[in-house]
Chains A and B, each alone.
Chain A
Amino acid sequence: MHDLDELQLSRRGLMAAGAATAAVSVSPPTAVAQDGPDAPVTAKVAFTVNGEKRSLTLDTRTTLLDALREHLKLTGSKKGCDHGQCGACTVIVEGRRINACLSLAVMHEGDAITTIEGLGSPERLHPLQAAFVKHDGYQCGYCTPGQICSAKAVLDEIKAGVPSHVSADLTAAPKVTEDELRERMSGNICRCGAYSNIIEAIAEVAGGRA
């Protein structure tokens, strides 16, 4: 007489054999999937988003962008190319702008993350948000949250003395010029082509020096 555990084991083995012969149209039973090499792996991560502590248990494959959008429902950050080429997913992590699509959520343990939702709200616009509205710094608006998060970090980078490709003198403090803003914003694509208005908006917030 078999005990219950043995019965379950043999039943699992049977199902595994069945799945192997039933080709791809049949999903394998969970027990087999968990033993397989492609079984999802989950991990816990805790970070701060817009000042609020958040804890998540996530598939390790989850990007920071998907954690923000799909798990925390902060859909301001956008998924454009999902390959770090368009900048629509730009968020600010520990004071620095990054492509949230090219970073794993589980690698952000303890980090402070700011998304567009943390910069301003419809009632209290961030000065960059107000300037984008005033200067028509968008058309469809899809790239705008990434543009604004990027612009916020760009102004901080210039203030911190980070040089750019167009800085004439590497050892001097960089200035806010149109050329500097264009170069520094090149990781944010706007398919509507609102670039000149975007630069005007950022320049106004920087103090009209461009």
Chain B
Amino acid sequence: MKAFAYERARSPREAASAAANDPGARFIAGGTNLLDLMKLEIETPRRLIDVNGLGLDEIKPTRDGGLRIGALVRNTDLASDKRVRKDYGVLSRALLAGASGQLRNKATTAGNLLQRTRCPYFYDPNMPCNKRRPGAGCSAIGGFTRSHAVLGASEACIATHPSDMAVALRLLDATVETVRPDGGERTIPIADFHRLPGDTPHVETALARGELITAVTLPRPLGGQHAYHKVRDRASYAFALVSVASVIQKDGSGRVALGGVAHRPWRVEAAEAAMTQGAKAVGETLLAGARTTSQNGFKLTLAERALGAAMAQARA
């Protein structure tokens, strides 16, 4: 690990401004992904700005009947919150399907959104990777690609986003609140937060340098049946091959979003018009434009069947 200076931020604005003025600075909250990457020297910050003391750890009702989740709310606390369990079950379910109990106790809401891909080539400093070094090339393309993206990928990167929580937030139309280095605040719809890789896979989110997430806001509850189906290689503590977040109403209408298939949570609103016609009909639009390799084509079948399972469970 490279040496770094360590300081505790005193306010969100001060943290944002400090980070903006120092390209070597990174925020640290739970640290479960950042420290992992620092040990491998994939991340080499020269300065860590600890944002844990900023009081951004509360969940409060909004005036619109939704919930405002502080950026530093731990994954365990968010999944356990009575209001989330009752009205946003898909979010609880997604969180509980991710990582381990130890990691959920540390990982934060904002940190979960900002975690980086688990593409094995990104994690291997001996292999070229456009995320680690723009222009170096992608080792995954033509390599072992069973876990890689089938939607929205590019010639530069076929990595997937590993978060389960983000898939539920995308389904719920959450918004991400930030403070910018000049003190200004803005709200980013979750649909615009994570980027597709394109030619710049190293640019993963809409955040500007120094911009700090302060909260994630959920709109008013949708009702319906909430579920998160995660298909993985072992029963627990593994990343998704495919996951389906769903909120389905009594009449069969509803929303679905996929995890494990793209560089960001995958939701196509137009596909949801076919919700009452079954998984195949939804899949036709949701999975349109998919590009598979010789090893990950199974993800399309899996996604359609997981969709079917979610719909059947909602009818039961």
Contact = CB atoms under 8 A, between A and B. Distances in A.
Q: Do A and B bind each other?
A: yes
B21 interface: no
A187 B86 contact: no
B160 interface: no
B32 A99 contact: yes
A99 B103 contact: yes
A16 to B, nearest CB: 18
Interface string B83-103: 001100100110011011111
A154 B106 contact: no
Contacts of A164: 96
Interface residues of A, number: 44
Interface stretch (A23-31, A69-77, A79-87, A198-206): A79-87
Assign chain B's interface to a size class.
35 or more
Interface string B1-40: 1111110000000000000000000001001100110010
A41 interface: yes
Interface in B210-269: 235-237
Contact of A102 (B3, B32, B46): B32
Contact of A84 (B6, B52, B82, B102): B102
Interface in B43-79: 46, 48, 50, 52, 76, 79
Contacts of B36: 83-84, 102
A186 B100 contact: yes
A150 B85 contact: no
Contact of B103 (A157, A163, A167, A187): A187
Given A102-B31, A157-B101, A183-B236, A40 B106 contact: no
Contacts of B48: 60, 104
B301 interface: no
Given A170-B93, A186-B237, 12 more contacts: A60-B5, A97-B102, A99-B103, A102-B32, A103-B35, A162-B76, A163-B92, A171-B82, A183-B235, A183-B236, A186-B101, A186-B236
Interface of B: 1-6, 28, 31-32, 35-36, 39, 46, 48, 50, 52, 76, 79-80, 82, 85-86, 89, 92-93, 96-97, 99-103, 105-106, 235-237
Interface of A: 37-41, 43, 59-61, 63, 82-84, 87, 90, 96-99, 102-104, 106-107, 150, 153-154, 157, 160-165, 167, 170-171, 182-188
User: Which 4 A-B residue pairings sit nearest by Cβ, starting from the closest?
Assistant: A187-B100, A186-B236, A186-B237, A60-B6
21 contacts: A38-B3, A40-B3, A60-B3, A82-B39, A83-B36, A97-B102, A98-B102, A103-B31, A103-B35, A104-B6, A104-B28, A107-B50, A160-B80, A162-B80, A163-B79, A165-B93, A165-B97, A167-B96, A170-B86, A187-B99, A187-B102
